[in-house]
Amino acid sequence: MTETHMPKDKGLDHTLKLLDEGYRFVTNRSNKFESRVFETRLLGEKTICMVGEKEAELFYDNAKFSRKDASPDRIQKTLFGEGGVQGLDGEEHHHRKEMFMSLMTKEKLQEISSILREEWEQEMKSHSTGEVQLYQAAKYVLTRSALRWTGTPHEEEDIPEWAEQLSYMFEAAGSVGWNHWQARQYRFMAEERIAGLTERIRNGNVEIDKDSPAYQFAMHRDLNGELLDEQTVAVEILNLLRPIVAIAVYIDFLLLAMHDYPEEVKKLESADDMHRFIQEVRRFYPFFPVAPARVKADFTWNGYTFNEGTLTLLDLYGTNHDPDIWNKPEQFQPERFQGWKESPFNFIPQGGGEFDIGHRCAGEWMTMDVLKTTLDFFVNHLSFAFTEQDLSYEMDDFPPITKSGVMVRDIQFK
Ligand code: HEM
């Protein structure tokens, strides 16, 4: 194939435009250039952006892209932590990812669903009079569930502190100034606490279930048969705790969808209806904007040259709203998932490709189960009324959360 010039965003740097246009940055340019691949400059660096199914397939080709040094330093220091599975490649990645995926068995997933159900019940009983902000309540419910499921020892009185630390890591991941520093500080404190727990597990100084994820990670051995250093164990246990609490962002949107589309709620009868509803929540609303990688070695694709080391971003939100994949993508239509032919690359709210050898989200099945359990609880086991409130959210916030955090009143158990 002959070489063609990749369309290029004019100007010195487009970071401010990215902050301004948020989730629409890549799609806006892709439409303008009439190309699903284009070049821009972000944070002073040449960056390739891509959107679409074929582009996702390319992006998840391990022979072409690497994750080493792909995430900006400031995101690693808040959201991901350093030395975790996200930045690994090849055999080392596969081996670490296997550890994560071994925790996602049917039994372990059922366990978190039943813990969650108990925690929602407890939490909502404590709010049976007055108003409650469900985003905040969800963070508490998920913090308790995450600590219980991972086997991380904790006291009830420490829940507000755990919830604050874990939420700050994703709520302030994209922020600057004080919030960014606070998120770094909270990550440091949480890592210290879990590194201490790892030491106690290894010395036999704590009572802990040997099947628990915390124990399994503390005793996990790398490809050379060595235990991971305590810091890395802490980063990986936080790679379970933090995203479980982050499901609160989807719960906020799940409740917003219940508010905005009551006719869709009336249709929720079977488990399949619930499944389609939560899939549409994950497709429709913005959460994880892009996945980053670097070109491994020079190659040409569809006439475009990709040079070694170039930062490349795959637009997850844009692909989930791509009119080539989705009919009327800007409409909330759970029934679109009826008979939907899913490929590893056409529905990618939590990344695409393979779970085991690729970087697709290790917690995707858990996220779906948590959302289904939560939807079932709010639809079938609770009655409530939405209060008058501002349910808008911004497309340039990361993560976007409704202004009011979804307030409800008159809560009763059915
Ligand atoms: C809250 C909803 C969630 C969203 C939106 C989300 C999104 C994502 C995305 C976009 C990726 C990166 C995909 C890529 O780089 O190609 C990812 C990776 C990952 N997620 Fe999630 N995730 C969520 C929940 C979870 C949960 C509940 C867990 C664990 C219990 C989890 C654990 C992980 C891990 C360990 C990785 C790294 C995988 C790897 O690098 O191989 N996530 N997630």
What confidence tens digit (pLDDT) does each residue in 36-82 have?
A: 999 999 999 999 999 999 999 999 999 999 999 998 888 888 888 89
**Protein residue with least CA distance to atom 9, ligand 1:** 350
367 CA from centroid of ligand 1 (Å): 9
> CA–CA separation, 47 vs 75, rounded Å?
17
* Predicted pLDDT of residue 377: 98
Q: How far is CA 157 from CA 134, 161, 162, 244, in A?
A: 20, 8, 10, 20
Give the whole-number percent of the chain exceeding pLDDT 90. Answer: 91
Selected residue with higher pLDDT from 13 and 80: 13
**Torsion angle defined by CA atoms of residues 265, 271, 273 and 275, in that order, rounded to the nearest 10 degrees:** 100
pLDDT grade for 3, boundaries at 50, 70 and 90: low
> CA–CA separation, 349 vs 361, rounded Å?
9
**Protein residue with least CA distance to atom 18, ligand 1:** 361
Q: Is the pLDDT of residue 91 over 80?
A: yes
* Predicted pLDDT of residue 129: 82
What confidence tens digit (pLDDT) does each residue in 352-369 have?
A: 999 998 999 999 999 999
151 CA from centroid of ligand 1 (Å): 20
**Protein residue with least CA distance to atom 39, ligand 1:** 359
Arithmetic mean of pLDDT, 2-31 = 92
What confidence tens digit (pLDDT) does each residue in 291-348 have?
A: 999 999 999 999 999 999 999 999 999 999 999 999 999 999 999 999 999 999 999 9
310 CA from centroid of ligand 1 (Å): 23
What confidence tens digit (pLDDT) does each residue in 215-274 have?
A: 999 999 999 999 999 999 999 999 999 999 999 999 999 999 999 999 999 999 999 999
> CA–CA separation, 99 vs 221, rounded Å?
10
Q: Is the pLDDT of residue 138 over 90?
A: yes
395 CA from centroid of ligand 1 (Å): 21
239 CA from centroid of ligand 1 (Å): 8
The answer to whether 89 and 359 are in contact (CB under 8 A) is no
In order of their start, the domains of the chain are: 15-413 (1.10.630.10)
Query: Could you identify the atom of ligand 1 that is nearest to the CA of residue 96?
Result: 41
DSSP state of 75: H
Query: Could you identify the atom of ligand 1 that is nearest to the CA of residue 359?
Result: 41
* Predicted pLDDT of residue 1: 55
34 CA from centroid of ligand 1 (Å): 30
- Name 34's Cβ contacts closer than 8 Å, sequence gap at least 6: none
261 CA from centroid of ligand 1 (Å): 28
What are 18's two structure tokens?
A: 């990215």
2 CA from centroid of ligand 1 (Å): 37
Question: What is the phi/psi pair of residue 14, to 5°?
Answer: -120, 20
* Predicted pLDDT of residue 241: 98
| Residues contacting ligand 1 via CB (< 6 Å) | 85-86, 97, 100, 239-240, 243-244, 246-247, 250, 287-288, 291, 316, 349-351, 359-363, 366-367
Mean of the per-residue pLDDT values of the chain: 95
4 CA from centroid of ligand 1 (Å): 35
The alpha-helical segments, DSSP class H, found in 204-270 are 213-218, 230-260, 262-266
- The pick from 57, 278, 355, 361 for probing ligand 1's pocket by mutation, whose C-beta has the most ligand atoms within 8 angstroms, reads 361
**SS3 for 329?**
coil
**Protein residue with least CA distance to atom 41, ligand 1:** 359
Query: Could you identify the atom of ligand 1 that is nearest to the CA of residue 60?
Result: 16
Arithmetic mean of pLDDT, 85-111 = 96
